Chains A and B, each alone.
Chain A
Amino acid sequence: MGMTMTQKILAAHAGVDKVSAGELIEARLDLALGNDVTSPVAIEEFEKAGFDKVFDTEKIALVLDHFTPNKDIKSAELCKTVRSFAREYKIKHFYDVGEMGVEHALIPEKGLAAPGELIIGADSHTCTYGALGAFSTGVGSTDLAAGMYSGKCWFKVPGAIYCKLTGKLPEWVSGKDVVLSLIGKIGVSGALYKSIEYGGDGVKELSVDDRLCIANMAIEAGAKNGIFPVDDATLEYLKGRVTRDFTVYEPDKDAEYESVIEIDLGSLEPTVALPHLPENTKPVRDVKGLKINQVVIGSCTNGRLSDMRIAAQVLKGKKVHPNVRAIIIPATQQIYLDMIKEGLTEIFINAGAAVSTPTCGPCLGGHMGILAAGERAVATTNRNFIGRMGHTESEVYLASPAVAAACAVAGEIALPRDVV
């Protein structure tokens, strides 16, 4: 039996010819990533263990994104810890307020993820870079500490689910609807410990932003990683961002997949995940009319330029419903700037939306848009667990930027075509 794309990358980084599912390996890292919540724990552990060097000052990225610009004294202290560590150890890729963005939007944008690379991050959505043909996965703070020091991490080699994409996305349907439909099908533990490997003719119909969104939510199906083949669109995206050499891997023809799922992109429609699990998906048309209080458009799932463009397309010349607070958060400074240049910011502000500097903010119930008891939000984020965006009696509905923008205008759950 051959290897999957993921297994090939793992084997190459473990320095062996072959690995198979279930095997434990130690592999070399191309990048270790941490944020302002997970790095402080890693740094404490790093220091407690008596470590006094990092494996490579250019292969560590520290991004202050969760509670920044700092929401309170405690979070300011956490950032201070990371800042001092970054200075002391001369970490090249350290991103503070003014330069930072939501990590999983920032890392690809800065060219820190490339095909065939092995990346760990002390953040579960590190799986995002699978969109570019890298193996990337979320780990904990102790893994980050060990990784920063030794440049290595242990892995259990995953088996895989093959997700075959065919057809073309209909109007107003995006990568978010693809991944929500997939999670609706297989459930939040449907890919537990496994890779989801995408393939098929449909891949070329998806923009890199769509792929980043889909790979981002692999973890919501329990997966270790989600990975896309590398094609012209990927290479185009990497141009001007990645100048180092990289290796493009393809799965073996006889790679072993535990199951195959087929998704016809043409059959999808705008989809929403109801509280309190990302697997509670329904077509938007079945939930239409449900009153809402807040809309959040942003996050590592859907805070990219194409997301902002489509939200602006819906909001142009419209007003946010008087009962709704609409909060729009570009995921990086570059996206923020591009939004201004393209006139999107103006469209949002004229519509009555708040536009913020990059932050995770409301996505994890941190700050910048917390919900009160009984309030309901439609968000382009990736999790709708109990209390995720605020009070335990608040509700989060996950949807695409097009749907979220439509809901902001309608004051209730709505389809883009109903408001445009």
Chain B
Amino acid sequence: MGKVFRYKDNIDTDVIIPARYLNTTNPTELAKHCMEDIDKEFASKVRPGDIIVAGENFGCGSSREHAPVAIRASGVSCVIAKSFARIFYRNAINIGLPILECPEAAEDISGGDEVTVDFDTGVIVNKTRGKSYTAGGFPEFVREIINAGGRLKSLKAKESKRA
């Protein structure tokens, strides 16, 4: 169960992690500045398991993997949005940050709500409001990557099977 941080449409990677902090690759360092340009309190308030809910085109802008890395290192367990920008989408999958596309949930859930997510079924339950929503599942290929714990691990696993 996690508490929700709610953001609007078109949250870009420059606000998720500003370029001025990209001179490091250290996840803990990056997490300290996560969302700081639109929400100065995020980094100090976020707790392990919390959830980000946003509108359309979450993660638009640059290809920096630092963005999902910063979010994951902040302790966020999942991002739910109406839609994701495509590079952010693949980066999140590739590094194993769970993301769910669910317009109804993204529309309905408010900041501060307590929410649980079942990644196997895609069921999102809003405990605060007693409502539930179902997100579309991932295609087989993507599930493989997530289950392996990321793209590189899945690549390795496949290779050793072939060898």
Contact A50-B156, Cβ < 8 Å, known A142-B95, A383-B61? yes
| In the complex with contacts A142-B151, A365-B20, A385-B25 CB distance below 8 A | no
Q: Of B23, B65, B142, B153, which contacts A38 at CB under 8 A?
A: B65
- With A123-B62, A142-B151, A392-B37 as contacts: A188 and B10 at CB distance below 8 Å: yes
**In the bound complex, how far is the Cα of B53 from the Cα of A208, in angstroms?**
41
List chain A positions with a Cβ less than 8 A from chain B: 24, 37-38, 40-41, 44-46, 48-51, 66-67, 71-72, 74-75, 78, 121-124, 126, 138-143, 145-146, 149-150, 154, 188-189, 192-193, 219, 222, 224, 277, 364-366, 383, 385-388, 392
Q: Across the interface, which residues of B come within 8 angstroms of A66, CB to CB?
A: 22
Interface: B43 (CB within 8 A): no
Please list 5 pairs of residues, one from A and one from B, whose beta carbons are closer than 8 Å in the complex, sorted by A's number. Answer: A24-B139, A38-B63, A41-B65, A75-B23, A224-B86
B19 CB within 8 Å of chain A: yes
Q: In the bound complex, what is the Cα–Cα distance between A45 and B25 (angstroms)?
A: 11
Contact among A139, A145, A364, A392 for B87, CB-based, below 8 A: A139
Interface residues of B in 82-133 (CB under 8 A from A): 83, 85-87, 90-91, 94-95
Q: Is the CB of B86 within 8 A of A192?
A: yes
Cα(A38)–Cα(B91), bound, Å: 12
Nearest 4 Cβ contacts at the A-B interface: A140-B91, A74-B23, A142-B94, A189-B57
Q: Closest A-chain residue to B29, C-beta based?
A: A74
Q: Does B56 contact A (CB under 8 A)?
A: yes
Known contacts A146-B151, A222-B57, A387-B18; decide if A189 and B87 are in contact (CB<8 Å).
no
Q: Which residue of A lies closest to B89 (CB)?
A: A193
* A149 close to B63 (CB less than 8 A): no
Q: Which of B15, B90, B153 contacts A139 (CB 8 A)?
A: B90
* Minimum Cβ distance to chain A for residue B157 (Å): 11
Quote the shortest CB–CB distance from A187 to chain B (angstroms): 9
Collect the chain B residues with CB atoms within 8 Å of residue A48's CB: 152
In the assembled complex, the CB of B36 is this many whole angstroms from the nearest CB of chain A, namely 9
State whether B155 touches A139 (Cβ < 8 A): no
Which residue of B14, B18, B19, B25 is within 8 Å of A41 (Cβ)?
Answer: B25
Least CB distance, B136 to chain A, in whole angstroms:
12
List of A residues within 8 angstroms of B91 by Cβ: 139-143
Task: Please give the distance in Å from B142's CB to the nearest CB on chain A.
Answer: 7
Q: Are A44 and B18 in contact (CB under 8 A)?
A: no
* A142 with B152: CB separation less than 8 A: yes
Q: How far is the CB of B14 from chain A (nearest CB, A)?
A: 4
Tell me whether A49 and B63 are in contact (CB under 8 A): no
Given A49-B156, A78-B25, residue A386 in contact with residue B38 (CB < 8 A): yes
Q: In angstroms, how far is the closest chain B Cβ from the Cβ of A58?
A: 22
A-B contact count (CB 8 A): 131
Q: For residue A404, give the distance in angstroms from its CB to the closest CB of chain B.
A: 21
Q: Which residues from B are CB-within-8-Å of A192? A: 57, 83, 85-86
* Closest Cβ–Cβ distance, residue A359 to chain B (whole Å): 13
Asked if residues A387 and B22 are in contact (CB atoms below 8 Å), the reply is no
Assess the A24–B141 pair: CB atoms within 8 A: yes
A112 CB to closest chain B CB, in angstroms?
18
Could you mark each residue 11-33 of chain B with 1 if its beta carbon is under 8 Å from any beta carbon of chain A, else 0?
01011001110111100000000
A387 touches B60 (CB 8 A): no
Q: Are A40 and B61 also in contact (CB < 8 A) when A192-B85, A365-B18 are? A: no
Interface centre among A140, A154, A219, A386 (most CB of B within 10 A): A140
With a cutoff of 8 Å between Cβ atoms, the chain A residues found around residue B150 in the complex are 142
**A222 and B86 contacting across the interface, CB-CB below 8 Å:** yes
Residue of B whose beta carbon sits closest to that of A388: B14
Given A192-B57, A386-B37: A146 touches B155 (CB 8 Å cut-off): yes
The reply on B66 being an interface residue by CB < 8 A is yes
B145 to chain A: closest residue by CB: A154
- Known contacts A385-B14, A386-B15; A143/B86 CB under 8 A: no
A142-B95, A387-B37 are known contacts. Are A364 and B153 too (CB-CB below 8 A)?
no
Q: Closest approach, in angstroms, between the C-beta of A66 and any C-beta of chain B?
A: 8
| Separation of A139 and B95 alpha carbons in the complex (Å) | 12
CB proximity of B55 to chain A, nearest CB, Å: 10
Contacts A37-B64, A150-B155 given; 9 further ones with Cβ under 8 A? A24-B139, A44-B25, A48-B152, A122-B63, A192-B57, A364-B22, A383-B12, A388-B14, A388-B19
- Closest residue to B68 on the A side, CB-wise? A140
**B86 contacts which chain A residues (CB < 8 A)?**
192-193, 222, 224
Q: A140-B87, A143-B94, A146-B152 are in contact. Are A189 and B10 (CB under 8 A)?
A: yes
> Which of A49, A72, A126 counts the most B-chain CB atoms under 10 A from its CB?
A49
Most buried by B among A72, A122, A126, A387: A387
CB neighbours (8 Å) of B69 from chain A are 41
Q: Tell me which of B9, B22, B151 contacts A37 (CB under 8 A).
A: B22
